[in-house]
Structure 1
């Protein structure tokens, strides 16, 4: 899915949400504050909040799209030789979870 199709789909979704808001507002003014109307208003608000979260998630997905998660750069050789014992002085040995 391309960025432009994502943008178009989200724009269409926002148009639909605008229609939902208008319909709920119209119903609310017609039927007043009844239990059924409160449920409709609550459901519509929940949907609108979910769409707001979808926008946030879509932005996050676009930021991570195409980004390499591994660093490509200069390789540093690490010798296989033993380090001098002075190198480890004053370092706590936590091991790999084993008992000493």
Structure 2
């Protein structure tokens, strides 16, 4: 298992890599090779968290994706679990609840 200093060095390198990837995206656009590099960096972040025994970092990388201005697409045509939205209000529309 890596030492704290090793882990910190890898984390700093990943942050710098992600910063550089933002610059690449700005220069070359959202092209497949740049998207693959971003995905690879996210994968490295997830794997490092696993090696260190930290909680899954998928949420952290997705948050990083949003911070970098990436659009995280949700495929259409997938069936949503309707129970996820039970008792939820539409933002800006106001509350409405159906009674069973």
Question: Could you say which TM-score interval applies, normalised by the shorter chain?
Answer: 0.3 to 0.5
Normalised to the residue count of structure 1, the TM-score between the two structures is 0.47
Normalised to the residue count of structure 2, the TM-score between the two structures is 0.47
More helix by share: 1
Larger Rg: 1
